[in-house]
A = this chain, B = another copy of it.
Amino acid sequence: MPLSPDQQAEIEELRSQPQQTLRAVSPGMEAHLYHARPVLDHGFVRVVDYMGDDAAITQAARVSYGRGTKSVSNDEGLIRYLMRHWHSTPFEMCEIKLHVKLPVFVARQWIRHRTANVNEYSARYSILDREFYIPEADALAAQSTVNNQGRGAALTGEEAERVLRYLRDDAMRAYDHYEEMISTEGQDGLARELARMNLPANIYTQWYWKVDLHNLLHFLRLRADSHAQYEIRVYADAICEMVKDWVPFAYRAFEDYRMGGATLSAAGLECVRRMLKGEEVTQENSGMSKGEWREFQGLIG
């Protein structure tokens, strides 16, 4: 269970105290505030705060005085134009702040996106909880035989059981020893900044993560993608649901031009043109390597 009853109560008390503001308000996003969305076995994502809405994007694009155009259809048209033509600065005018609880190995991937602000729970200062990510049966996958950094079918039977046993037992033992090492009963107690190094990478940590909409969409494009590791993709998917309600025009444009779109190389573009003229194009006369040709065929279906 991601949140304790105390935490839940504290959050619910905050939910019951709306205040007045003159700022842009996104009704869709207000509904997400103070709701922690569960992810994996002990993790969650919750929106702590946000700045701006769809109209804030067009307002900045026009460097205008008021809230953008009167006409909603114009706002959406402009947002689609901006997305299509890679005008990224207006999307940077929206900001979101998330509170995320996630396994350390996911945090290590996530933090590679540097254009964001982060405050992580400090294991030098505080004691970590006994919470570890243990995959569900269908997420316990074999190494992919075609992709060096991917996974294949789910493990089964004894192999699956042994893996789960190792993951659980090693985590529990490591945590027992962690507690024992930092204990000050009858001993000095190891420094927390050292003891933490005994803990495996499936332990949960948490942080505040603040990012602008442009960089968030870039993160989502990479991490909500089918090539991303499952354990980070579920976080990205959960965030997608929030963004969809926060800035619906921007999110729809993002789906059309980024998530659902594709990039063709110069060679790929040339092949499409030749094929549309009725020419027979094969890998041999395509100007592409075998790998590229395979990817190209996957693309044009």
**A140 in contact with B190 given A22-B33, A33-B23, A181-B163 (CB within 8 Å):** yes
> Considering only CB atoms, which chain B residue lies closest to A63 in the complex?
B121
Chain B residues closer than 8 Å to A166, beta-carbon distance: 177, 180-181, 198
Taking a contact as CB atoms under 8 Å apart, the answer to whether B25 and A30 are in contact is no
Most chain B CB atoms below 10 A, which of A17, A124, A264, A301: A264
> Does A238 reach chain B (CB closer than 8 Å)?
no
Taking a contact as CB atoms under 8 Å apart, the answer to whether B89 and A117 are in contact is yes
**How far apart sit A255 and B122, CA to CA, in the bound complex (Å)?**
28
Taking a contact as CB atoms under 8 Å apart, the answer to whether B143 and A124 are in contact is no
Interface magnitude class on chain A:
35 or more
- Residues facing B in A8-58 (CB within 8 A) are 10-11, 13-15, 17-25, 30, 33-34, 48-52, 56
Taking a contact as CB atoms under 8 Å apart, the answer to whether B49 and A52 are in contact is yes
Chain B residues closer than 8 Å to A180, beta-carbon distance: 162, 166
Taking a contact as CB atoms under 8 Å apart, the answer to whether B24 and A49 are in contact is yes
Q: How many copies does the complex hold?
A: 4
Taking a contact as CB atoms under 8 Å apart, the answer to whether A196 and B192 are in contact is no
**How far apart sit A206 and B93, CA to CA, in the bound complex (Å)?**
15
**How far apart sit A56 and B49, CA to CA, in the bound complex (Å)?**
10
**How far apart sit A135 and B198, CA to CA, in the bound complex (Å)?**
12
**A258-270 contact mask (Cβ, 8 Å, vs B): 1 or 0:** 0111111111110
> Does A138 reach chain B (CB closer than 8 Å)?
no
Taking a contact as CB atoms under 8 Å apart, the answer to whether A135 and B23 are in contact is no
Taking a contact as CB atoms under 8 Å apart, the answer to whether B257 and A261 are in contact is no
26 example contacts (A-B, Cβ-Cβ < 8 A) are as follows A18-B21, A23-B33, A49-B51, A49-B52, A60-B208, A92-B210, A103-B197, A111-B111, A114-B115, A141-B190, A142-B189, A142-B190, A142-B191, A143-B191, A144-B191, A149-B193, A151-B193, A155-B188, A155-B190, A200-B200, A255-B266, A259-B266, A269-B300, A272-B272, A272-B300, A276-B276
